[in-house]
Each structure stands twice: as C-alpha cells, then as structure tokens.
Amino acid sequence: MEVTSDRFTDNVQDALADANLRAALERLAKGFPAMRRAAVDRMPEFEGLRDEALEIKNHTLANLDFYLEQAVARIEALGGTVHWCRDAAEAREVVLAICRGARTVTKSKSMVTEEIALNDHLEKNGIEPVETDLGEYIIQLRGEPPSHIIAPAVHLSKEQVAETFRDHHTELPADRLLVEPREILDEARAMLRQRFVSADVGITGANMLIAETGSIVVVTNEGNADLTMTLPRVHIAVTGIEKVVPTLEDAATVLRVLARSATGQEQSVYTTLATGPKRADDPDGPDEFHLVLLDNGRSAMLGGPFHEALRCIRCGACLNHCPVYGAIGGHAYGWVYSGPIGAVLTPNLIGLERASDLPNASTLCGKCEEVCPMRIPLPRMLRHWREHQAMVGVTRGRLALALWAFAAKRPGLYRWTSGQAVRLLTALGGDRGRIRRLPFAGGWTASRDLPAPQGRTFMDQYLSRSGDQPRGQP
C-alpha cells in the first residue's frame, strides 16, 4: 500500500470533512469500548490475567532466540518449512516463489501481509489474491487499506458496502435487495464460496506461534481462516518474530485477554490451531505448510525504548478508546497500523522521517495504556519519540516552545503576558463566553468553539486571596 504518513495533516483534514466517516466513528465509540467494559466486569480475575499475559510476553521476548529456534525445530520435524525474512521485500519474494503456478490465492485477515504489501506484489506477478474476511474483502474491492486492526471496514456504512457490491458483483441481478446486513453478508458468502474451493494456495497470519508444539493460533469470528488453511494444497502462514509464546498454556492465557479486549467477547467464535502439513491419516489439510517469519525492524526494537511495544497482540483496544483515532479514523495515519500503537510502531518500521507527525497525534491522556491487555506504556513511548524529535531538531513549534521557555524562566514577565492574554481572550469571548475563531488556532476553532477564560489568571486569583503581592512584576 502507498505510505502517506508524511501527509498526515492533509489526511486529517480529509477525515474531518468526511460525514460518513464521522458517523461510523461515533458508532465505533459506542460499541467496542462498552462491550470491553462489560466483558471485564464479568471477569473478576481480568487484571490478574493481564499481569500473567504481560509476564509471558516479557519472558518470551527476553529469550526470543531460544523459543523461535524451538518452534522452528518442531515445525520442521512435522514436515513444515520455515523461511526467515529480514524485511518486507524478502518476505514478498518468498511467498511469491511458493505461489508460482497458482492461479488463485485465498487469504484470511493478516496485518503482517498488509505491512509487506503482499497483495500488490502477487497481483503484479499475475496471481490473484482474494481476501476472505468480510471486512478485508470489502476494502479490497474498494482498493482501500484497512482502517482498523480488527475491523478493517469500520469506516463504511452498510449503504456504502451495498454500493460497492453492486459496482463489482455485476453478474448478479441489478434489482436485488441489499438493505439488511444479512443480505449483504449472504451475497459475500456466495461470491467467496467458489473461491475457497478453487484456491491453489491459502495464506493466513498467526495470532501466536507456540514453541512447544510448532502450532500457529489463528483467531477469527467468521471461520474463513479455517477454509483458507484446510482446502488449498498449500498453506502459508506469515507472522512477525514477536508472536511466539512458549506453551499451549501460555497461549490460552493470552487468548483469555485477547477477545475481551478486542470485541468484548469471552472467546472469539473460531480459535484454530494448525500444526504442520496434513499427515497420512488426516482427513483434510494442506500437503505443504510454510511459515514465513518476518523481522522487518522488530529485532532492532529489542532491548530499546520501544521493546515493550513488541508485546502487542493486535487487539485494537487502544484504537477503540483513543480520542484522536475516534476523531480521524485509521486512514489518516497513512499506513497499516493506526491509533496509539501505530503512532509508536510506524516510525520504528518505516522511519521517523516518513512519520514525524504521528508521535504528536496524541493527547497523552493515558487511556491506551489503561485498556491495553499487555500494559504497553504507549504514552511514555510517544513522549520518547517527541524527545527524540526535539533532540534532532525536527519538532514543529520549536520557536513557540523557546518563547514560552523564555517567559517561564521570568515569573514576572510570564504573569504579565498571561494576564494580558486572558484579558484579550475574555474580551473576544464577549457575552457568549466562547470564541468562534482565533488567529493561530484555526486547527482548534475550525470544528469547535474555544471557551473564553472566566476572570483572571489562576496565579492572580491565588495571590489576591492569600494577600501576597506579585514579585518581579515588570
């Protein structure tokens, strides 16, 4: 996919002007957060499970080489093939080589394959990839990237989806009804059914890789991943090196916090473990199993200030609760990963120079860390990126900060200038007490009024009540 993170400001303006997107984000804000809260309230031990899951991931990352080697040895003993890939280009070429000769490839939802732009690469080489997750199928027809980690088409209304189906499913009757969600779902199922049956290769991601058994864990609510894994002759799983966990018991612990954090379910509808290729007495399954292990910048994060971001299990909880994501959606971030985790990961994976605005796309309210099942300190990491920007001189607003610092070091000057500003803003607010337009604050007042100050500055009020006299007044 095209990277537009360097055009974040323009992307934001487009998002704020999109009425359909704003309506969709309002629905999102009323859905997943409330469902998560209800699911957590039903499980008194949830906070303890978060701590257990955190320790599992911390232990695994501290011994990542050991558990990856254990998983690889187990997969190869079962007859599977493992491919180590340093970057996106290498991973794309590996997958393409396996798919040579295939006509159709079915895919289940995978953020890692989005990260390496796999679909575009297969299409350029004459292989048709077909997304089988409903949300991914919709955005593939529209030529769009996912706007959410777990709900890729959350930015669309059902009317927009119906219009997309009418534009692309031209072999169906033009007067068919596509009003109810069930009608849309049934049409997608009918269109995809033959693709499942005729696919030569199936490609999935992996929510986890279990070292002790060599199994991958794939979690869905639609069952499409199961058909993608079992019907084609070849199954390719693409995942990041950080997704390994030591044991089946560890995987079960992570699963208990995953669905509750993502969609508010106790458990996803389908949780499937796939272990190598089909054996002689298996009734179904692929003849070949390939695991593509992707680094693509992850090993560089180990042991550094962003080490803990590798605990991420891609639940999307930080997006669901983020006020910035809730205002602009996922496409504004300009790449695969959006929301707070995207603002941390994207500069690591594609470079800060291409994503310099993202660390500043946060209020640092801390809600993302509060709801993260892995307790990833996202606000601290965003502050680290900002500190790095200041050190290398790429922070916008350095002059404004320098002027503020100059005044802040001179208390008398600071009180005088802030007092003048308060009086001016109070006057601009007038009887309404709100300012509709303000120079140099167009980004704020374009979509909301600015409350005018009520009375004097805090320091003036404090000094007058305490009886002290301001010192150092110019």
Mean pLDDT of all residues in 434-451: 76
Strands (E), 55-100: 81-85
* Cβ(452)–Cβ(435) below 8 Å: yes
**Does one domain contain both 94 and 222?**
yes
Asked if residue 340 belongs to a domain, the reply is no
396 within some domain:
no
Domain boundary residue, one of 299, 330, 346: 299
Burial class (CB in 10 A: 0-12, 13-18, 19+), 281: exposed
**Structure confidence by residue, pLDDT tens digits, 42-62:** 999 999 999 999 999 999 999
In a domain, 112, yes or no: yes
Sequence length of the chain is 474
Residue 454 pLDDT: 77
Q: What is d(CA 142, CA 171) in angstroms, rounded to the nearest whole number? A: 18
Inform me whether the pLDDT recorded for 165 exceeds 60: yes
Domain assignment present for residue 173? The answer is: yes
DSSP conformational letter for 449: P
| Confidence (pLDDT) at 447 | 66
Q: Is the pLDDT of residue 470 over 70?
A: no
- From 258, 274, 299, the end of a domain falls on 299
**Residue 291 and residue 416 in one domain:** no
Single out the residue in 235, 264, 299 at which a domain terminates.
299
Do 414 and 285 have their domain in common?
Answer: no
d(CA 378, CA 386): 12
**Does residue 409 fall inside a structural domain?**
yes
Our count of domains for the chain comes to 2
pLDDT digits (tens, 9 = 90+) for 280-307: 999 999 999 999 999 999 999 999 999 9
Q: What is the C-alpha to C-alpha distance for residues 354 and 6, in angstroms, rounded to an integer? A: 5
Q: Are residues 292 and 418 in the same domain?
A: no
Rounded to two decimals, the pTM is 0.87
Helix, strand, coil % over all residues of the chain, rounded to 5: 55, 10, 35
Rounded distance between C-alpha atoms, residue 136 and residue 118, angstroms: 14
User: What sign does the CA torsion over 453, 458, 463, 466 have?
Assistant: positive
The SS3 call for residue 105 is strand
Instruction: Tell me: do 280 and 429 sit in the same domain.
Output: no
Helices (H) and strands (E) in the chain, counts: 22, 12
Q: Is residue 250 part of a domain?
A: yes
Q: Is residue 389 part of a domain?
A: no
- Domain extent, residue 122, equals 5-299
The answer to whether residue 472 scores a pLDDT higher than 50 is: no
Local confidence band at 474 (pLDDT 50, 70, 90 cut-offs): very low
Q: Which tops the pLDDT comparison, 462 or 199? A: 199
Please indicate, yes or no, whether residues 413 and 281 belong to a single structural domain of this protein.
no
Q: Which one-letter DSSP state was computed for residue 87?
A: S
Please name the residue that has the structure tokens 């001016």.
424
What element of type H or E holds 203?
strand 201-204
The answer on pLDDT for 384 being more than 90 is: yes
- Count Cβ atoms below 10 Å from residue 337 Cβ, excluding itself: 26
The conformation of residue 397, written as its DSSP 8-state character, comes to: T
Chain-centroid distance, C-alpha 128:
26
Of the pLDDT bands very low, low, confident and very high (cuts 50, 70, 90), residue 133 is very high
One domain for residues 294 and 412: no
Query: Which tokens in the block code for residue 276?
Result: 């190598």
